[in-house]
Amino acid sequence: MTGIGITSNQRGRNVAEGLATAIHEHRLSPGMKLNEDEVGEIFGVSRTIVRSALQTLSHAQLVVIEPNRGAFVARPSIREAREVFEARALLETRTAHSAATRATTEDIALLKRHIDEEHWAFDAGETGRALRLSGDFHIEIARIANQATIAAFVRQLVARSSLIIALYWRRRQATCESHAHHALLKALEAHEADRAKELMTSHLVDLLSLLDLTEPTDAPASLKEAFRLP
Amino acid sequence: MTGIGITSNQRGRNVAEGLATAIHEHRLSPGMKLNEDEVGEIFGVSRTIVRSALQTLSHAQLVVIEPNRGAFVARPSIREAREVFEARALLETRTAHSAATRATTEDIALLKRHIDEEHWAFDAGETGRALRLSGDFHIEIARIANQATIAAFVRQLVARSSLIIALYWRRRQATCESHAHHALLKALEAHEADRAKELMTSHLVDLLSLLDLTEPTDAPASLKEAFRLP
DNA sequence: GAGGCGAAAATCGTATACAATCTGGGAATA
DNA sequence: TATTCCCAGATTGTATACGATTTTCGCCTC
């Protein structure tokens, strides 16, 4: 469920989702060049489709397209990083509040499974997948809140957060994530809307505070190895 | 300043802006078919560019692309209408608050000119242009708030509001707009952040309450006459 | 060895050709 | 007359060709 905006173009959408998932799982790093021919070869489509996918990703701000130079995985600035988390705090306090009042037992069960899966992935050392799942947890809450418009924004912000984390996350303590998520789940389950709201705020503030917002240094790896091709 | 997301594609961007402005000014109505060849002929570009522009607009949710059927100006549902205004209330209370604390005298002067222009357009019977300008007022406030991320969302929501108004606005009393804007301006000028916040909220609630949220009936007109071609 | 120059290679931007799909209307049938 | 079927025309989906621009890299000069 690596949600990207609506593309009629089914094949383009597939390529966009493939690239987006790779970004979420940190197999593609910020700044990496996305060569049109190369991407086309990997997904078995022509450049027409690739361009459509890259345009989609650029609208989601996961990719930056430089005229006549090509597409690159975005490298959010420090400023952008703060803004994204501020916007998330604004939107997700709302989704958390609303989700707490609306969550059904099925919703809660789903979220529980989600957290478990996140835990397994983390314990199995699949940090990329764990990271993506932890983002999906937030997206799931937005979905439960039943506000498609806000949910779409949250999806985009979560996706961008993944890039921000790739760039600025230096300490290694990913466990705190799932503790916060667990607390949030409890509040949702008990329909304690105000508590959910506050837990969400502090969770996001926490995340931001754990970032090392100084100039990043980065050496983009190769595109092909992100998709395990020779 | 009919802002649309970043397309590297300069020509595609121009077409997207042209179409978006036409939508904002209600020259293109919800549901209207946007034939690729026809749009291409109007703007003097090939279908490649048109498709890129349509994709851009579909990401902004101004256009809906139905696979193998083509692109249509979006027809937001009643549900969507409420959601858009709710999201606007959430985001724009923030931008209003922030803008009130940050607005410089130049910002205020700019906003004043904006309101004046809106008035002139309205008095001159150019309701389309007046409508677009009144949306731009909100976008300008978001810009002053100096939060690019939130501002981008507001831009998108304002654009969608224009479609919602086209579909659901039936009573004719567009003057209230500029009164509310004037009051808002005063609060911004006096740096009364909380007051600006509340004025913005009530302004948006007002707007929503003036809509006739019942099933719309609409007969899309022709594409060419929107651009005054024979 | 550093720096500048220029041609070749790589890559992107756009138009266009052709295939796939949809649409509308008329003929055949009940 | 109403309904179904089918085909021609229109329209979108995708690949590819070609021009424009950028990048690379060998070569020359200092």
A168-199 residue pLDDT tens: 987 666 555 778 999 999 999 999 999 999 99
* High-pLDDT (> 70) share of chain A, %: 89
From the CA of A68, how many Å to the C1' of D28? 30
Average pLDDT for residues B72-84, to the nearest whole number?
96
A222 burial type by CB count under 10 A (0-12 exposed, 13-18 middle, 19+ buried): exposed
A59 touches chain B (CB under 8 A): yes
> Rounded to the nearest 5°, which phi and psi values hold at A89?
-60, -45
Inter-residue contact A156 to B87 (CB < 8 Å): no
* High-pLDDT (> 90) share of chain B, %: 75
Is the domain spanning B78-209 CATH 1.20.120.530? The answer is yes
| Alpha helices per DSSP H over chain A | 10-24, 36-43, 47-59, 78-102, 105-123, 127-145, 148-168, 175-189, 193-210, 223-226
pLDDT classification of A229: cutoffs 50, 70, 90 = low
pLDDT score recorded for residue B155: 97
Q: Which part of chain B is CATH 1.20.120.530?
A: 78-209
pLDDT score recorded for residue A178: 77
Can you read off the two tokens belonging to residue B90? Answer: 């959430």
Tally of residues, chain B = 230
pLDDT score recorded for residue B28: 94
Q: Which fold has domain B10-74?
A: Arc Repressor Mutant, subunit A (1.10.10)
Q: How far apart are CA A58 and CA A78, in angstroms?
A: 19
CB atoms within 10 A of CB B5: 19
Strand D within 7 A of A69 CB: yes
Nearest nucleotide from residue A50 CA, by C1' atom:
D14
State how far residue B119 is from chain A, nearest Cα, in angstroms.
31
Lowest mean pLDDT among A115-124, A194-203, B107-116: A115-124
Q: Which part of chain B is CATH 1.10.10.10?
A: 10-74
Residue type, B211: L
Residue B169 has pLDDT above 90, yes or no: no
Architecture of the structural domain at A78-210: Up-down Bundle (1.20)
Q: Which of B47, B45, B39, B41 is nearest to B20 (CA)?
A: B39
pLDDT score recorded for residue B124: 87
pLDDT in tens, A144-164: 999 999 999 999 999 999 999
pLDDT score recorded for residue B131: 87
pLDDT score recorded for residue A174: 55
Q: Which part of chain A is CATH 1.20.120.530?
A: 78-210
Nearest nucleotide from residue A49 CA, by C1' atom:
D14
The owner of tokens 């607009």 is B57
Average pLDDT for residues A102-107, to the nearest whole number?
96
Q: How far apart are CA A138 and CA A111, in angstroms?
A: 10
Q: Which part of chain A is CATH 1.10.10.10?
A: 10-74+216-226
Strand order in the sheet with A70-73: A33-34, A70-73, A63-66
User: Cβ separation of A55 and B7 shorter than 8 Å?
Assistant: yes
pLDDT score recorded for residue B229: 54
pLDDT score recorded for residue B225: 66
CB atoms within 10 A of CB A186: 14
> Rounded to the nearest 5°, which phi and psi values hold at B191?
55, 35
Is the domain spanning A10-74+216-226 CATH 1.10.10.10? The answer is yes
Residue A22 has pLDDT above 50, yes or no: yes
Comparing CB atoms, the residue among B58, B66, B83 nearest residue A148 is: B83
Between these two residues, B94 and A120, which has the higher pLDDT value? B94
pLDDT score recorded for residue B217: 67
* Chain-centre distance for alpha carbon A120: 19
Q: What is the dihedral of CA B111, B113, B114, B120, to 10 degrees?
A: 150
